[in-house]
């Protein structure tokens, strides 16, 4: 699998990485158990910052596409294909819209929602 980054694309580089890896998993180009290149190796090959690759790998782990084995590297999960089409951003937006609509329907003001949301985001739950 070859990853190509378009620096002129308005899509963030880490998002391009995530989308290409998910696409490769969905298209059976990356099989379960396949090791991904190390963060440093991929960053050097693509001539991008290693923190960008690390962010992409971390989000792929969150999305259940890869699992990290510490210093041994990151590998495609056995069940990764099941999660390739999951869009957590869209899911989060739908959940928040539902909650906000329920709050508004019960008389809570937008200002009150913002204050409580901000407080919750800044607290350690």
Q: Are residue 23 and residue 76 in the same domain, yes or no? A: yes
Domain count along the chain: 2
* 3 assigned to some structural domain: no
Contact between 15 and 3 under an 8 Å Cβ cutoff? The reply is: no
How much is the pLDDT for 33? 96
* 75 assigned to some structural domain: yes
What is the CATH number for 65? Answer: 1.10.10.10
Cβ atoms within 10 Å of 60's Cβ, excluding its own: 25
Confidence grade of residue 1 (pLDDT, cut at 50, 70, 90): confident
* 1 assigned to some structural domain: no
Q: Are residue 55 and residue 26 in the same domain, yes or no? A: yes
Q: pTM for the whole thing? A: 0.75
For residue 103, give its domain range.
88-122
* 7 assigned to some structural domain: no
Q: Are residue 66 and residue 99 in the same domain, yes or no? A: no
Both tokens assigned to 60: 């792929």
Q: DSSP assignment, residue 65?
A: S
Rounded to 5 degrees, φ, ψ at 105 are: -65, -20
Q: Please compute the mean of the pLDDT values over residues 5-27 and round it to a whole number.
A: 95
Q: Are residue 105 and residue 44 in the same domain, yes or no? A: no
**Calpha distance 49→77 (Å, rounded):** 25
Please write the tens of the pLDDT for every residue from 37-74: 999 999 999 999 999 999 999 999 999 999 998 889 99
- Residue of 89, 122, 70 whose CA lies nearest to 18: 89
Both tokens assigned to 11: 């899509």
Residue 125 pLDDT > 70: no
* 78 assigned to some structural domain: yes
**Calpha distance 19→37 (Å, rounded):** 16
**In sequence order, what are the residues at sequence separation of 6 or more whose Cβ sits closer than 8 angstroms to the Cβ of residue 52?**
13, 14, 17, 43
How much is the pLDDT for 89? 80
């Amino acid at each position: 699998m070859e990853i190509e980054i378009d620096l002129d694309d308005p899509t963030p580089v880490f998002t391009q990485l995530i989308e290409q890896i998910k696409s490769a998993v969905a298209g059976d180009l990356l099989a379960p158990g396949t090791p991904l290149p190390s963060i440093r190796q991929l960053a050097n090959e693509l001539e991008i910052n290693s923190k960008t690759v690390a962010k992409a790998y971390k989000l792929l782990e969150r999305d259940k596409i890869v699992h990290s084995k510490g210093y041994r590297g990151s590998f495609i999960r056995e069940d990764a294909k099941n999660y390739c089409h999951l869009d957590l951003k869209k899911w989060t937006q739908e959940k928040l819209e539902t909650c906000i609509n329920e709050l508004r329907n019960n008389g809570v003001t937008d200002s009150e929602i913002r204050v409580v949301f901000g407080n919750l985001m800044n607290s350690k739950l």
